[in-house]
């Protein structure tokens, strides 16, 4: 697994657009919405891996759903002058971690690694041990509250350089935060 570099393309993720992805209606600041993180079906090597699509709560309740949804969270549409804030909760992070399991695309492995680090820091995962197989390094982790004897979850370490990890974190954060 190669470390990601800036020459492999950027990790541009969608931002809050203030428009309902289902109806096209403008989302009003303070309005209840559902933000989604979706697999970008049209993703190319230089394109985004994930896109954000926002839905008015009423459109969501009526059944509107985006294609290739990875996860979603409920929030409110931000005001133009509102500071950016994290919009996802712990359950959404765990869901994203689970959904990325088994995806061997380099950027997806990198995103899962980053989410794993966040969950470890939040103590929602605990590290059991590290295993090495040839050039690969695997972190074995367990979710908080896991029953005794449950096999650990294997997470490959993509060996991301520090500067690339920061870029990856910034771009993943963009899709999960509101826009000024």
Lowest mean pLDDT segment, chosen from 8-12, 41-45, 51-55, 99-103: 8-12
pTM of model > 0.85: no
- pLDDT score of 22: 94
Give me the residues paired with residue 137 across strands.
132
Mean per-residue pLDDT, 30-43: 78
Q: Let me know if residue 3 belongs to a domain.
A: no
Count of structural domains within the chain: 1
pLDDT at 163 over 80: no
In a domain, 1, yes or no: no
Residue 56: give the domain boundaries: 10-175
Tell me if 4 is assigned to some domain. no
d(CA 166, CA 172): 10
How do residues 67-122 score in pLDDT, each as one tens digit? Answer: 888 778 888 888 877 665 555 678 888 888 998 898 888 878 888 888 888 888 88
Q: In the predicted model, is pLDDT for residue 44 greater than 90?
A: no
Please tell me the distance from the alpha carbon of residue 53 to that of residue 14, in angstroms, as a whole number: 7
- CA terminus-to-terminus distance, the chain: 36
Residues 59 and 152 sit within 8 Å (Cβ to Cβ): no
In a domain? residue 54: yes
User: Cα dihedral sign for 160, 91, 69, 83?
Assistant: negative
Q: Is 133 contained in some domain? A: yes
Show Cβ contacts of residue 73 under 8 Å, excluding neighbours closer than 6 positions.
34, 35, 87, 88, 89, 92, 176
Beta bridge partners, 156, equal 138
Of 125, 73, 136, the C-alpha closest to 98 is: 125
Q: How far apart are CA 71 and CA 56, in angstroms?
A: 16
CB neighbourhood size of 137 (10 A): 15
Asked whether residue 35 is assigned to any structural domain, the reply reads yes
- Tell me whether residue 164 is in a domain: yes
Asked whether residue 55 is domain-assigned, the answer is yes
């Amino acid at each position: 697994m190669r470390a990601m570099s800036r020459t492999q393309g950027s990790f541009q993720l969608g931002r809050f657009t203030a428009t309902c992805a289902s109806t096209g209606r403008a989302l009003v600041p303070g309005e209840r919405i559902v933000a989604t993180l979706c697999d970008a079906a049209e993703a190319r090597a230089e394109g985004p891996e994930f896109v954000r699509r926002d839905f008015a709560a009423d459109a969501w309740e009526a059944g509107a759903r985006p294609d290739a949804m990875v996860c979603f969270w409920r929030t409110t549409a931000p005001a133009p002058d509102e500071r950016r804030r994290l919009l996802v909760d712990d359950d959404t992070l765990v869901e994203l971690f689970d959904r990325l399991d088994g995806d061997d695309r380099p950027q997806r492995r990198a995103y899962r690694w980053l989410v794993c680090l966040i969950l470890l820091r939040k103590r929602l995962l605990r590290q059991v041990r590290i295993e090495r197989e040839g050039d690969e390094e695997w972190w074995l982790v367990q979710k908080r509250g896991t029953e005794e004897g449950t096999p650990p979850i294997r997470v490959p370490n993509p060996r991301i350089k520090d500067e690339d990890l920061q870029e990856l974190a910034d771009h993943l954060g963009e899709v999960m935060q509101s826009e000024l």
